Structure 1
Amino acid sequence: MRRLKSKPLLWFYATFFLIVISANALAQESLDEVVFPLMDGARIHHQKPKITISLERIEGSDQWASLRLLVDDVDVSAFVVVGDRVVNYSPRGDLEYGKHTITLETMDEKGTILSPLTWHFTVPRSELFDKASARVLVDAQSDLQLAAKENSEEPEWAVQSNATLNSVMETGYLKVSLDANVWYADQEKNEPTGDKFNLNNYLLDIYYREQRLAAGDLTVAGTELISPSIARRGGLMELSFARTKALGFLLQSNQLTGFDHAVELDNPDQRLMGGSLEQKWESAGNLIIKGTALTGKNQDPGGYNTGTVASPSNGQMYTLQVNASPLDEKLGLTGEFGVSRFDEDTSDAFGYNHGKAWLARFTSRMGSYDYGGGYKHLGRHFRSIVDTSAMDNREEYSLYGTKTFEESSLTAGGSTFLDNVEEDPLLPVVRNTSLDIAYNVFKANWPMLFFNSNLVYQASSDEPANMDDIENFTQTFTGGLALVREKWNLSPSYTYSRLEDDSVADSDSQTHQASLIAGIQPTTSVSLSPSLSWSRTDSGDVVPVTSTLQGTLAGTYLFSPMHDFYLTLSAIDTDTDDNSAHTTTYDSICQYNWHPETRFLQQVRKTISLRGRYNHTHDRIGEDSLEDYALSVMVSIGGLPVMLY
């Protein structure tokens, strides 16, 4: 066997090693540039890649007259270099890890806007994750009272803080995010109701392509008859394929939050469960058909709405909604039909009632005209388990239109509501008819002018034997302007309301309201915000005429970026014409803020404040006075970032 000499063998290995190193270097260098459309969907291990669009590979690009380049929906056309059949862009800074979108908008020589072209590429954080980050942002404040009037309502100490978590992980078509907010609050007196340490909200979202799985504080899209949106804590699953979308959800029927109710879906008596199926046909006039089913129980309505005394309820709803826009924005049509089965009080023996509802609406926009209208019928027993206090047994008609001129716009609308439309013998039939007109002027270099009027006529019929008839007419007129200049702004307005009551109660009234709001910034260091308002209400001979005058002055003085001063002064005077009541209240707050610069936590805004407050209420009839004052020091930090990953 022939032996190879050592030197040629070394040269062979050295040459091979250099070739491999050079190839890797070239490969790495090639990753510094992404070329479209050839590399659509590529993974680029470089945070500042050169973006190149090869026009030779795009059919019809020779007919383009202009183009606009967007990176992640941000216009970067000003930094684009157009060469010989190529478009080049170099990011001015490092791109974030994750998926990025390149959009090219073009126009041909005739001025026709062409369909945009879109490509994607990914800057992965690692071989496993395209994007992975987790950050907590903390805000905190502590107050300590230095001096105060005896028996002051101001607490001797108070602490409050909140932390917001933002986290995301992406790999391929999978995206997982978790966002949450928690807060802590406590003070020496007048303690806040509820838990001192509370989970305010959280949301876990998992996306894979068009599919979604989520848990936490959700907002589920509903319908007009059910509820436009359902905001509750729970979970949902959304599946999409082509133009079909299926949604299923399981939610709490009350709106309780906190750590104790983070995931509380095991109680069948306090749960909403439902789903929807939606199909879209673009070729058939953008037709969308959506069916929704919902069932639920609310056995503890006190947690749902603490402001009312509601009964435990149980119910189901089924709706079918149809939307179409056969002429795009020139004509939009909406129709919906729904049925409900509802027990408004499960503690009694009356059981379920069945109800129906339906609606039809149209909208149109043609040139400078925008108009629409509709009809809705809510049956006597039609109720929603989502919102048990919603109106029922009503018929509605509405019509509106807007004309936009070159420097102004005019809007008019009318509606009629007929309550007790299915004539419950224990209630009267009440008709409310309203007319609204609004005119706005936005001429260049002029103050913006506005005028609104609202007329409402209410009348009843078929009253029960023990009930008087209802008939009244309400008029409301509002006018004003807004004038904005470089160093000041001014906004006066006036509102007049009048009620003519022709029923037995005869509760006629009229109200005048005037206000003046201004803003002044004579220098970069000084800003003032004065306001003045006046109102007068005359409710006839039975109730005395009441007048209220209120003035407020807020001001800020900036000594330097580290020092500023804030002041608020306000006064309210309320008087009656028969001298039965007359009070004047003064309130003032002044606060000096120091924002120290420290070697630690340089990215956090730190503030040490000295705050004083004084309040005085004078009863001018009884000559009694109440006053309260306090001086406190506050230490706060804002925007403290804690990078978890």
Structure 2
Amino acid sequence: MSETRLTGWSGDRLRSGVFIAALVLFVLLIGALPAVAEDVSFVAPGEGIEATTSKPEVACLFTFPVFRDRLLVQLDGIDITGALDLSGNGFTYKPILPLANGPHQLALAFYLPDGSVAQRSFFFSTFTRMSSTTQVSAVYEAEVAKSDHLTGIPKHNFAANIGHATTVTTGDWQLGLTTNLRWLDRSEPIVDPEKKGLDLVNYQLTAQYQKEAFGLLLAAGDVQIQETRNTVSGLARRGVQAGVVYDKLTLSGFVVNSEQLYGVDDGSGLEFDSGNTISGGSIGYRFFEDKLTLRAIYVTGSEESNSFGVYEEKTGEREGDVVGVQAQVQLFAGKLNIEAEYDWSDFDVDSGDGAGSVTDKAWMVTAGGYVDGYSYQASYDYIGPDYAVVGNPGLLNDREGFMAMGGMQKGVHGLNLSTSRYEDNVDEDPLLTKTVTTTITADYAYNGMPNLPLGLNYQKTIMDSTMLPEGAFPYRTDIDLFGARASYLLGSWNFSVNATYSLQDDKTSTDSDTRNQTYTFTPMYYSQAFSVVPSLIFNRTTDENRSVDTDTLTASLDLRGTLKEGKVTYELAGSFNRMTMSDDSMELETLTANAQLAYHFQQEWASFLNPSLGLRGQYNRTDDKLSGEDEDEYALFLVLSTSMNFAF
């Protein structure tokens, strides 16, 4: 019976049946087998997992043994390879500082057993309702020895800092506090604005709210205001600021002290005096799927000094207002971006002189983009001679001109070209000189040899006085600068060579031509326990009229490293400078050196304090060969330092 049935399946039907049975069996076997293991698996927190702690353990497991020198691990772009805890065919890592709420990336690059290099990336996120970080550092220095004639060196100096940051998330709100406490004690007087004792150097309170299309940001303390280049840009002061976003609408406002405040001796800095504040705000709206953004800005205030961010003597009160409008357009997926701004200012350089304020304007148009390896940008600017803004003293006024630049990166070739032409005295005041400055620049880079990148550059600058007041001398100078560079990469070494040659051609009757040539050689070596960066620079400036050369030779060294598995650290930095003139009117040598040697206590009792004990020394020597005068200065200090981190 069985034979009859078997015979019935002979021929093509038999072969088809066997094939189908084999295929079904193969599928069943494959389904029963475990999946083929990847070369590395993300064990913790795990791909796409949201960790509920700000310092989650990160762990990966390989299918082969791994070693630190054949592995590179980065967390959010920061190299953490040296902090990994390796164990056979895997590693674990415990973050030292809390990770911010949100997504994180773990990037790995490693050698496979066959010698090839593989790369893997994993993603996870963290969310915690509260995180806090406190960093404490303290340094005490005591003088051991110094030159008798060396003044201003304190017998002892103690500085301690406590930096703290706390973030609390509750519902749709996120609250933050950052502070920086500092204690100073020094045997010598302390220069303002610092003072002896404890001081709250800076602080900031923040509150953020986000729900669907609505967002709110409040900040008080040390804030930074950023509106536009011709209104307020990078204004860092103490005060309050607020921002609101609703769908396509944005609102912002601020009020800050015009004086740069340090510490809290004179209060929190939030007690505003109407005569010494800067305030303003902006409103913006996005149109056409965010391709067009329109903004309006208003800033007003007064200040008693130039407020350059440094502490200077009072120079009189300045006050004024500025109104600006800005448009930003994004077209063709970033291939064309246009920005335009127009501003009006009403500014009084000294409210006490009775002269009143002066109005003026500024405007600019910029276009740029990136297309298939090519980038470009062009702009035209105008800033009137009387245009000024409170809180933006670095703004260059009385200037008009254009700039254009383009770049190309194709394979191993890179080329960047730029040109600009700017002139001052835009209103052509007959009592002032009008100077036109034109610049053309070209830079070429070749990367055809991975360990030997090369480059050439050229720059032409023309400065010409096109309008002169009566009795003034004309000015016309052409400057040509040629440069070449090369680097050679060999393992942990990087050898760099740079050469530049420039000719300054004075086209006036005085014919004060000069030539300048500079040659730089910098070999660098970096490793985990040792690095050294020596440098040798030779510069020659030639006065063509006098046929006199001024030569400057500078040799510098920066060396640092560790010994005894990190228990001992050392640093040595210094430079030697020699200046001579071919007419024998100068021969001067200077030498500066700084060195530090420290022992870090790594015993179990010291793991929390991270203390170190060491010596720091400095040496300066000046030798004037012509006058025969030379001077030596030295100082040696005992240094005790410690640092502690608390985080949760």
Tell me the TM-score normalized by structure 1.
Answer: 0.77
Q: Report the Cα offset of residue 520 of structure 1.
A: 3.2
Q: Say yes or no: does 1:517 pair with 2:516.
A: no
Match of 1:329 in 2: 334
Within a 5 Å distance, the mapping from 1:605-644 to structure 2 comes to: 605-638=610-643, 640-642=644-646
Distance between the aligned counterparts of 1:499 and 1:222, measured in 2?
Answer: 40
* Kept after mapping to 1: 8 A contact 2:54/2:99: no
Match of 1:436 in 2: 441
Tell me: CA distance 1:577–1:211, structure 2 relative to 1, closer, same or farther (3 Å). Answer: same
Q: Say yes or no: does 1:219 pair with 2:224.
A: yes
Q: Report the Cα offset of residue 307 of structure 1.
A: 6.2
Q: Report the Cα offset of residue 241 of structure 1.
A: 0.5
Distance between the aligned counterparts of 2:550 and 2:98, measured in 1?
Answer: 61
Match of 2:317 in 1: 312
Aligned to 2:334, the other structure's residue is in SS state helix
Name the amino acid aligned to 1:511. Answer: N
Match of 2:234 in 1: 229
Match of 2:174 in 1: 175
Aligned to 2:331, the other structure's residue is in SS state coil
Q: Report the Cα offset of residue 632 of structure 1.
A: 2.1
Distance between the aligned counterparts of 1:172 and 1:101, measured in 2?
Answer: 19
Within a 5 Å distance, the mapping from 1:347-426 to structure 2 comes to: 347-426=352-431
Tell me: CA distance 1:437–1:201, structure 2 relative to 1, closer, same or farther (3 Å). Answer: farther
Q: Which residue of 497, 505, 509 corresponds with 1:492?
A: 497
Q: Say yes or no: does 1:286 pair with 2:291.
A: yes
Match of 1:203 in 2: 204
1:11-37 C-alpha deviation (Å, 9 max, x unpaired):
xxxxxxxxxxxxxxxxxxxxxxx9999
Distance between the aligned counterparts of 1:165 and 1:47, measured in 2?
Answer: 17
Tell me: CA distance 1:611–1:358, structure 2 relative to 1, closer, same or farther (3 Å). Answer: closer
Aligned to 1:380, the other structure's residue is in SS state coil
Q: Report the Cα offset of residue 637 of structure 1.
A: 1.0
Distance between the aligned counterparts of 1:310 and 1:545, measured in 2?
Answer: 43
Match of 2:541 in 1: 537
Aligned to 1:580, the other structure's residue is in SS state coil
Distance between the aligned counterparts of 2:429 and 2:355, measured in 1?
Answer: 17
Q: Report the Cα offset of residue 390 of structure 1.
A: 2.2
Bigger shift: residues 211-220 or 289-298: 211-220
Q: Report the Cα offset of residue 558 of structure 1.
A: 3.2
Name the amino acid aligned to 2:345. Answer: S
Q: Say yes or no: does 1:137 pair with 2:135.
A: yes
Aligned to 2:265, the other structure's residue is in SS state helix
Match of 1:84 in 2: none
* Kept after mapping to 1: 8 A contact 2:163/2:178: yes
* Kept after mapping to 1: 8 A contact 2:436/2:463: yes
Distance between the aligned counterparts of 2:55 and 2:461, measured in 1?
Answer: 62
Q: Report the Cα offset of residue 162 of structure 1.
A: 1.8
Name the amino acid aligned to 1:171. Answer: T
Distance between the aligned counterparts of 2:167 and 2:567, measured in 1?
Answer: 35
Q: Which residue of 579, 583, 588 corresponds with 2:588?
A: 583
Match of 2:163 in 1: 164
Distance between the aligned counterparts of 2:235 and 2:348, measured in 1?
Answer: 20
Name the amino acid aligned to 2:168. Answer: M
Q: Report the Cα offset of residue 582 of structure 1.
A: 1.6
Name the amino acid aligned to 2:186. Answer: Q
Tell me: CA distance 1:472–1:310, structure 2 relative to 1, closer, same or farther (3 Å). Answer: farther
Tell me: CA distance 1:570–1:335, structure 2 relative to 1, closer, same or farther (3 Å). Answer: closer
Tell me: CA distance 1:556–1:320, structure 2 relative to 1, closer, same or farther (3 Å). Answer: closer
Aligned to 1:233, the other structure's residue is in SS state strand
Distance between the aligned counterparts of 1:469 and 1:264, measured in 2?
Answer: 53
Q: Say yes or no: does 1:464 pair with 2:469.
A: yes
Distance between the aligned counterparts of 1:613 and 1:92, measured in 2?
Answer: 39
* Kept after mapping to 1: 8 A contact 2:305/2:312: no
Distance between the aligned counterparts of 2:563 and 2:54, measured in 1?
Answer: 45
* Kept after mapping to 2: 8 A contact 1:515/1:534: yes
Displaced runs of 4 or more, over 4 A: 34-37, 42-49, 72-75, 91-103, 119-123, 302-311, 523-526, 540-544
Identical positions, percent: 22
Q: Report the Cα offset of residue 542 of structure 1.
A: 6.2
Distance between the aligned counterparts of 1:47 and 1:133, measured in 2?
Answer: 9
Distance between the aligned counterparts of 1:477 and 1:46, measured in 2?
Answer: 53
Distance between the aligned counterparts of 1:315 and 1:160, measured in 2?
Answer: 41
Tell me: CA distance 1:357–1:634, structure 2 relative to 1, closer, same or farther (3 Å). Answer: same
Tell me: CA distance 1:458–1:97, structure 2 relative to 1, closer, same or farther (3 Å). Answer: closer
* Kept after mapping to 1: 8 A contact 2:305/2:313: no
Name the amino acid aligned to 2:620. Answer: N
Distance between the aligned counterparts of 2:148 and 2:406, measured in 1?
Answer: 61
* Kept after mapping to 1: 8 A contact 2:286/2:293: yes
1:347-370 C-alpha deviation (Å, 9 max, x unpaired):
212111111222211112111111
Aligned to 2:611, the other structure's residue is in SS state strand
Q: Which residue of 483, 503, 517 corresponds with 1:478?
A: 483
Q: Report the Cα offset of residue 597 of structure 1.
A: 2.1
* Kept after mapping to 1: 8 A contact 2:308/2:393: no
Distance between the aligned counterparts of 1:356 and 1:45, measured in 2?
Answer: 53
**What number of residue pairs does the alignment pair up?**
550
* Kept after mapping to 1: 8 A contact 2:258/2:391: yes
Name the amino acid aligned to 2:209. Answer: Y
Match of 1:243 in 2: 248
Distance between the aligned counterparts of 2:478 and 2:377, measured in 1?
Answer: 26
Q: Which residue of 567, 571, 580 corresponds with 1:566?
A: 571
Match of 1:551 in 2: 555
Distance between the aligned counterparts of 1:425 and 1:385, measured in 2?
Answer: 28
Name the amino acid aligned to 2:421. Answer: T
Tell me: CA distance 1:517–1:505, structure 2 relative to 1, closer, same or farther (3 Å). Answer: same
Name the amino acid aligned to 1:619. Answer: D
1:262-283 C-alpha deviation (Å, 9 max, x unpaired):
4155222221110000101243
Tell me: CA distance 1:603–1:616, structure 2 relative to 1, closer, same or farther (3 Å). Answer: same
* Kept after mapping to 2: 8 A contact 1:178/1:205: yes
Distance between the aligned counterparts of 1:634 and 1:135, measured in 2?
Answer: 26
* Kept after mapping to 2: 8 A contact 1:507/1:540: yes
Aligned to 2:451, the other structure's residue is in SS state coil
* Kept after mapping to 2: 8 A contact 1:469/1:504: no
Distance between the aligned counterparts of 2:431 and 2:555, measured in 1?
Answer: 48
Name the amino acid aligned to 2:140. Answer: S
Name the amino acid aligned to 1:135. Answer: T
Distance between the aligned counterparts of 2:550 and 2:247, measured in 1?
Answer: 63
Distance between the aligned counterparts of 2:250 and 2:342, measured in 1?
Answer: 20
Within a 5 Å distance, the mapping from 1:110-149 to structure 2 comes to: 131-149=129-147
1:133-154 C-alpha deviation (Å, 9 max, x unpaired):
3332111111112222323344
Name the amino acid aligned to 1:563. Answer: V
Q: Report the Cα offset of residue 48 of structure 1.
A: 8.2
Tell me the TM-score normalized by structure 2.
Answer: 0.77
Match of 2:281 in 1: 275
Distance between the aligned counterparts of 2:545 and 2:423, measured in 1?
Answer: 32
* Kept after mapping to 1: 8 A contact 2:221/2:270: no
Distance between the aligned counterparts of 1:616 and 1:380, measured in 2?
Answer: 47
Bigger shift: residues 232-241 or 476-485: 476-485
Bigger shift: residues 391-400 or 197-206: 197-206
Computed over aligned residues only, the root mean square deviation of the Cα atoms, in angstroms, reads: 3.6
Q: Report the Cα offset of residue 476 of structure 1.
A: 2.2
1:229-269 C-alpha deviation (Å, 9 max, x unpaired):
33222110111110111001001223332223541552222
Bigger shift: residues 285-294 or 592-601: 592-601
Q: Report the Cα offset of residue 100 of structure 1.
A: 4.8
Tell me: CA distance 1:562–1:47, structure 2 relative to 1, closer, same or farther (3 Å). Answer: closer
